[in-house]
Structure 1
C-alpha cells in the first residue's frame, strides 16, 4: 500500500480518478482503478508502484 499527498484528480461526483505516482523518480499521473494505480512505465520499464493500492491523504 502507498500513501500520496499530491492533489488528486476528481470526477464530477468527487471521487478520486487519478493521482501522481508516489514512487521516487516517477512523476506520472496515473489513473486509479478500484483504488489501485494503473500499470504504467517509468524510464521504459514497468513502475514498481503499478497495481499498488493507494490511500490519498
Structure 2
C-alpha cells in the first residue's frame, strides 16, 4: 500500500499505531507505519484490478 498522506509504501500496517476505533477484531482500517495515518483496506476486487494495470 502507499500512504496518501506521506507517500510511504508498506506491505503490512503497523497495528501498534492504531488509535483504536472501538472495533476489536474486524477493523477495516490500516495505519501507516511512517506517519500513523489511518486508511481503509482495499477490497480484493480493487487490488485485482490494480494488478491488471501494473
TM-score after normalising by structure 1? 0.28
Instruction: Specify which structure has the higher proportion of helix.
Output: 2
Instruction: Specify which structure has the higher proportion of strand.
Output: 1
Larger Rg: 2
Q: Which has the higher contact order (CA 8 A, sep 6+)?
A: 1
